[in-house]
Structure 1
Amino acid sequence: MSARLHLRPGKEKPLRQRHPWIFSGAIQRVQGQPAPGEIVAVHAADGAWLAWAEFNPHSQIRARAISWEQAWPDEAFWRARLAASIARRRQLLPAAFAEVGACRLVFAESDGLPGLIVDRYGPHLVLQALTAGAEARKAETVRHLVDLLQPASIVERDDPMRGKEGLPPAAGALYGQPPAEPALIDEQGHRFLVDLAGGQKTGFYLDQAGNRADLAPYCAGAEVLNAFSYTGAFSVYALAAGARHVLNLDASAEALDLAARNLALNGFGPERWALMQADVFTQLRVWRDADPQAGGRRFDLIILDPPKFASSRGQIDRAARGYKDINWLAMRLLRPGGLLATFSCSGLIDRDLFQKILFAAALDAGREARILRQFSQAVDHPVLLTFPEAAYLKGCLCHVA
């Protein structure tokens, strides 16, 4: 018999509404001694059966619901979940399944697979197991992925979230032989090299695919600053759309080297782009303080795509100050009538708060700003309506007078 979680009175409502997270404070008692990642039965205070969930005694999210059907979630259950997730991408993004296509195949809770991330980069897959449950079924997941997709390799990437779940670091080949060189992908006719073993996230910001395409037309004829440029993907789209010049600014020499390779791969000569290795906050302040005639810079369009500033609720205030500061600096560096494409991938900074931050930044910069359009994550990063926490990426295109 499986172990059981008994919830406190009144704590079953989110679970009945199909929200998958069960926090430690909602649990009255644990019957049995479930190991991390073990599937447990969840019961209401009155004893009513509610769901199956994956347990983790080391996480504040004590359990993650996986099924609201009483049938035991066996291996066929997990294979069917994976197959359904992949089928949705085939329906929505058929081009991503071409020889060098790329997309997110599995987006954790939004696909009914808590803690599991799987990205496709051509014939190679990158996997992240971010929860005890995903870790416990990792070998099973690899078997199913091989059966369903026949990849050349499956590479595991580490993530700080594993530490919060009480899991050790994990990285390396799970199947096949990963490429010694960066993998080649095609995104809407643009080619990119992706480092499957290094870099940020799983090697490429797949979540920005639609935003890159949507922003590109506004770059025509513009002098563009791509801050936190990483692989230079926004820069490739901007130049392809007719940007006059793009400056790629990033603190990482490795990222800038990859950006240069990606720009050259797409046929753009160095007369149309430049690289600068520097801390973005520091460099923007240098330009702000310098006379435009003596080393200061001004731009027609600035892209701000910083890394996550808040990974816990205790960091929200500090993150908000960081977002305000970087957007204030960018607004000061735009020519009158310039455009600011600004993003936040911190899920704890919701869209409403982000817009308030932009309001405060514009006010302090003494600039009149208007939101022209909103950005969000790509279609292969869906938001399950019962799990709004999946909506983490938001952005705005602002006209700054």
Structure 2
Amino acid sequence: MTLSRGRVQPVWAGHPWVFAQAIARVDGAPSAGDVVDVVDPEGRFQGRGYWSPKSAIPVRIATRDANDPLDGASIGRAIERAAALRARFGLPSAETTGYRLVHSEGDGLPGLIVDVLGNVATVQLLTIGMKLREADVFAHVARVARVKTVIEVASEKAAQREGFEAKTGVVRGPDPHALELRERGLDVSLEPTITQKTGFYFDQRENRAMVERLARGARVLDLYSFVGAFAMFAARGGAQSVIAVDSSPVAIATASRLAHHHGMSDRITFERADARHRMEELARKKERFDLVVLDPPKLAPTVKHLERARGAYRRLNADAARVTERDGVLVSCSCSAAMTPDELVRVATMGARDAGRDLTLLHMGEQGPDHPVPAAFAEGRYLKAAFFRVT
């Protein structure tokens, strides 16, 4: 596969995606999932990946090594390297047994996501190339992570885009009754079905640690709390009280159970409600909090959704600023890759001004080191957590 002139620089510089419009010529007739070489107009090797003809990104570079055949053994070696990287950061450990083992492009395995939750690994296959090699993937994940069970977690959107069928279910080992792990010293037990929503959001680990440090003596509001991870670490950090809000009855039930297990039920109140409506109610009652965590779902999945998302983020941050005490801290998060850190700061600032407040940026958090990103791949830096002082 030959790149068009003028389209080589990003790939040469390390960007792992080859867009359809960057392809000048495809030699031969590769089938979906086949290994293909990417070369520049002079025939110089730029990388190798799996062919996804139905995608707007027909090739995701998996290796820059011309001697790497991208076979089953290659997948095994890449997963071993991924595990070795996590070990350098102390994952897993006695205190933390849940982590991301494989983060797609960041581990040279584009189209593959693997989370380890104690003795269980969950696997997402996001490209036809990875789907066709699922037997190798499952075997190597079980071997390297030393887990008893491997669960495939289907992404219907990816399967439809790539042209294959996928379903969620156990693919190796016994069917687990629960997903049991430790997260920075807290015991966590989740229903297996909750893996469809990624479980415990390991990408927020460092940001939760920061919230824990800021929570001593604070009145805390945790919005879009899911299973209550921010809320529990705030309580462990010495929060005076925590209100955690989420619209999912399953998430609220799970969070309540976990808080009870850790003896935190007297400090955390879990509410099933729409987060924005709840903020409006609290503002009308003139309720104020010393620490507010705003972690909404993905509002801008692609650039084309960004303009609408800007308005939504601005409104949410305005509402959150209104219920934050002066000199309190607002933690504004975005998991939308299209929303850059600067863009998040800008819309949060505008939202705060709508509420008659000013923001001072204290810290900008990102996803943790078990979610690595190629340096030339800005799109991979999807998680932002802006810590603001509100005045």
* TM-score, scaled to structure 1: 0.93
Q: Who is 1:382 aligned against?
A: 372
State how far apart, in whole Å, the 2-side matches of 1:307 and 1:352 are: 19
Greater Cα offset, 342-351 or 298-307: 298-307
Q: CA RMSD in A?
A: 1.7
Q: Who is 1:143 aligned against?
A: 139
State how far apart, in whole Å, the 2-side matches of 1:149 and 1:287 are: 45
Q: Tell me, yes or no, if the aligned pair for 2:246 and 2:252 is still in contact at 8 Å.
A: yes
Q: Who is 1:80 aligned against?
A: 77
User: Size of the alignment, in residue pairs?
Assistant: 389
Of the three residues 260, 274, 279, the one matched with 1:279 is 274
Of the three residues 249, 252, 276, the one matched with 1:253 is 249
TM superposition shift of 1:154? 0.4
What is the correspondence of 1:254-269 to structure 2 with a 5 Å cutoff?
254-269=250-265
SS in structure 2 of the partner of residue 287 of structure 1 = helix
TM superposition shift of 1:50? 2.7
State how far apart, in whole Å, the 2-side matches of 1:379 and 1:212 are: 14
Of the three residues 263, 282, 300, the one matched with 2:290 is 300
Q: Who is 2:232 aligned against?
A: 236
What is the correspondence of 1:2-401 to structure 2 with a 5 Å cutoff?
5-71=1-67, 72-94=69-91, 96-98=92-94, 101-159=97-155, 160-181=157-178, 183-198=179-194, 200-269=196-265, 271-288=266-283, 290-292=284-286, 297-401=287-391
Q: Tell me, yes or no, if the aligned pair for 1:343 and 1:393 is still in contact at 8 Å.
A: yes
TM superposition shift of 1:116? 0.6
Q: Tell me, yes or no, if the aligned pair for 1:110 and 1:387 is still in contact at 8 Å.
A: no
Q: Tell me, yes or no, if the aligned pair for 1:101 and 1:121 is still in contact at 8 Å.
A: yes
Q: Tell me, yes or no, if the aligned pair for 2:228 and 2:244 is still in contact at 8 Å.
A: yes
State how far apart, in whole Å, the 1-side matches of 2:189 and 2:309 are: 31
TM superposition shift of 1:238? 0.7
Greater Cα offset, 361-370 or 196-205: 196-205
- What letter matches 1:219 in structure 2? A
SS in structure 2 of the partner of residue 148 of structure 1 = helix
- What letter matches 2:79 in structure 1? L
SS in structure 2 of the partner of residue 197 of structure 1 = helix
TM superposition shift of 1:43? 2.3
State how far apart, in whole Å, the 2-side matches of 1:41 and 1:313 are: 28
Q: Give the percent of matched residue pairs that are identical in Structure 1 and Structure 2.
A: 33
State how far apart, in whole Å, the 2-side matches of 1:286 and 1:199 are: 32
Q: Tell me, yes or no, if the aligned pair for 2:349 and 2:358 is still in contact at 8 Å.
A: no
TM superposition shift of 1:141? 0.8
State how far apart, in whole Å, the 1-side matches of 2:62 and 2:185 are: 37
Structure 1 residues 282, 254: closer, same or farther in 2, change over 3 A?
A: same
Q: Tell me, yes or no, if the aligned pair for 2:302 and 2:337 is still in contact at 8 Å.
A: no
TM superposition shift of 1:200? 5.0
- 1:72-121 C-alpha deviation (Å, 9 max, x unpaired): 23322221111111111112124x24497111111000000001111111
Structure 1 residues 145, 291: closer, same or farther in 2, change over 3 A?
A: closer
Gaps of 5+ in 1: none
- 1:225-279 C-alpha deviation (Å, 9 max, x unpaired): 110010101111111111111111000000000100111121213x312121111
Structure 1 residues 332, 200: closer, same or farther in 2, change over 3 A?
A: farther
